[in-house]
Protein backbone atom coordinates (compact mmCIF):
# COMPACT_ATOMS: atom_id res chain seq x y z
CA UNK A 1 0.00 0.00 0.00
CA UNK A 2 1.28 3.47 -0.91
CA UNK A 3 0.48 6.22 1.58
CA UNK A 4 1.84 9.51 2.84
CA UNK A 5 4.64 9.06 5.39
CA UNK A 6 4.00 9.79 9.05
CA UNK A 7 6.59 10.82 11.68
CA UNK A 8 7.56 7.21 12.47
CA UNK A 9 8.05 6.52 8.78
CA UNK A 10 10.21 9.66 8.51
CA UNK A 11 12.49 8.37 11.25
CA UNK A 12 13.00 5.13 9.34
CA UNK A 13 13.56 7.00 6.07
CA UNK A 14 16.12 9.29 7.70
CA UNK A 15 17.94 6.31 9.18
CA UNK A 16 18.38 4.92 5.64
CA UNK A 17 18.81 8.24 3.85
CA UNK A 18 22.62 8.24 3.68
CA UNK A 19 22.55 5.04 1.60
CA UNK A 20 19.77 6.43 -0.58
CA UNK A 21 21.66 9.65 -1.34
CA UNK A 22 24.92 7.84 -1.99
CA UNK A 23 23.23 5.53 -4.49
CA UNK A 24 21.39 8.43 -6.14
CA UNK A 25 24.68 10.30 -6.65
CA UNK A 26 26.55 7.18 -7.84
CA UNK A 27 28.66 7.36 -4.66
CA UNK A 28 30.22 10.70 -5.65
CA UNK A 29 28.77 12.37 -2.54
CA UNK A 30 29.14 10.95 0.96
CA UNK A 31 26.83 12.89 3.26
CA UNK A 32 26.68 12.51 7.00
CA UNK A 33 23.44 11.72 8.84
CA UNK A 34 22.90 15.22 10.29
CA UNK A 35 23.41 16.81 6.88
CA UNK A 36 20.81 14.52 5.31
CA UNK A 37 18.35 15.17 8.13
CA UNK A 38 18.69 18.94 7.57
CA UNK A 39 18.16 18.60 3.81
CA UNK A 40 15.09 16.42 4.32
CA UNK A 41 13.61 18.77 6.94
CA UNK A 42 14.10 21.80 4.67
CA UNK A 43 12.33 20.01 1.83
CA UNK A 44 9.48 18.93 4.12
CA UNK A 45 9.20 22.44 5.61
CA UNK A 46 8.91 23.82 2.07
CA UNK A 47 5.90 21.56 1.44
CA UNK A 48 7.52 18.42 0.07
CA UNK A 49 6.51 15.04 1.39
CA UNK A 50 7.18 11.34 1.11
CA UNK A 51 4.91 8.71 -0.29
CA UNK A 52 5.87 5.31 1.08
CA UNK A 53 5.34 1.72 0.06
CA UNK A 54 4.58 -0.28 3.15
CA UNK A 55 3.16 -3.75 3.71
CA UNK A 56 2.25 -5.07 7.15
CA UNK A 57 4.14 -2.24 8.88
CA UNK A 58 7.25 -3.05 6.83
CA UNK A 59 8.69 -0.08 4.93
CA UNK A 60 9.87 -1.20 1.50
CA UNK A 61 10.54 2.08 -0.28
CA UNK A 62 9.69 5.76 -0.69
CA UNK A 63 9.53 8.68 -3.07
CA UNK A 64 10.06 12.33 -2.13
CA UNK A 65 7.86 14.79 -4.03
CA UNK A 66 7.17 18.51 -4.00
CA UNK A 67 5.30 21.17 -5.94
CA UNK A 68 6.59 24.59 -6.99
CA UNK A 69 4.96 27.40 -8.90
CA UNK A 70 6.37 28.35 -12.28
CA UNK A 71 5.55 32.04 -12.30
CA UNK A 72 6.33 32.47 -16.00
CA UNK A 73 3.94 29.71 -17.08
CA UNK A 74 1.56 30.36 -14.16
CA UNK A 75 1.30 26.67 -13.35
CA UNK A 76 2.33 24.18 -10.72
CA UNK A 77 5.26 21.92 -11.50
CA UNK A 78 5.77 18.67 -9.66
CA UNK A 79 9.18 17.48 -8.57
CA UNK A 80 10.46 14.00 -7.79
CA UNK A 81 13.60 14.37 -5.70
CA UNK A 82 14.27 10.83 -4.62
CA UNK A 83 13.04 7.29 -5.22
CA UNK A 84 14.45 4.54 -3.07
CA UNK A 85 13.62 0.89 -2.52
CA UNK A 86 15.40 -0.88 0.31
CA UNK A 87 17.85 -3.51 -1.02
CA UNK A 88 15.87 -6.54 0.22
CA UNK A 89 12.83 -5.50 -1.85
CA UNK A 90 14.39 -4.61 -5.19
CA UNK A 91 13.53 -6.23 -8.49
CA UNK A 92 9.81 -6.42 -7.75
CA UNK A 93 8.63 -3.30 -9.61
CA UNK A 94 8.25 -1.18 -6.47
CA UNK A 95 10.07 1.82 -7.98
CA UNK A 96 7.58 1.92 -10.84
CA UNK A 97 4.68 1.67 -8.39
CA UNK A 98 6.07 4.60 -6.39
CA UNK A 99 6.68 6.74 -9.46
CA UNK A 100 3.21 6.04 -10.87
CA UNK A 101 1.67 6.94 -7.49
CA UNK A 102 3.70 10.17 -7.40
CA UNK A 103 2.64 11.10 -10.93
CA UNK A 104 -1.00 10.49 -10.02
CA UNK A 105 -0.66 12.47 -6.78
CA UNK A 106 1.02 15.41 -8.48
CA UNK A 107 -1.46 15.37 -11.37
CA UNK A 108 -4.37 15.48 -8.93
CA UNK A 109 -2.77 18.61 -7.45
CA UNK A 110 -2.74 20.35 -10.81
CA UNK A 111 0.76 19.59 -12.03
CA UNK A 112 0.85 19.18 -15.81
CA UNK A 113 4.63 18.94 -15.76
CA UNK A 114 6.83 16.82 -13.51
CA UNK A 115 10.59 17.14 -13.24
CA UNK A 116 12.94 14.69 -11.62
CA UNK A 117 16.19 15.08 -9.81
CA UNK A 118 17.32 11.57 -10.62
CA UNK A 119 19.90 10.16 -13.00
CA UNK A 120 18.62 9.74 -16.55
CA UNK A 121 17.93 6.14 -17.48
CA UNK A 122 15.72 4.24 -19.88
CA UNK A 123 13.66 3.31 -16.82
CA UNK A 124 12.20 6.81 -16.69
CA UNK A 125 11.66 6.92 -20.47
CA UNK A 126 9.42 3.84 -20.08
CA UNK A 127 7.30 5.85 -17.65
CA UNK A 128 6.92 8.78 -20.03
CA UNK A 129 9.69 11.13 -18.90
CA UNK A 130 11.54 13.01 -21.62
CA UNK A 131 14.98 14.62 -21.60
CA UNK A 132 14.97 18.43 -21.93
Q: Over the stretch 72-109, which tens digit does the pLDDT of each residue have?
A: 888 999 999 889 999 999 999 999 999 999 999 999 99
Over residues 101-119, the pLDDT tens digits come to 999 999 999 998 988 765 5
Exposure on the CB side of residue 83, measured as CA atoms within 13 A: 22
Q: Record the pTM.
A: 0.83
Amino acid sequence: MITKANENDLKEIISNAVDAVQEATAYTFKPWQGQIKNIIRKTLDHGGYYLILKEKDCLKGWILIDISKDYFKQQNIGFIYEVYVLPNYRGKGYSKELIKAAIEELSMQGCNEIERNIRTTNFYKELGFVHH
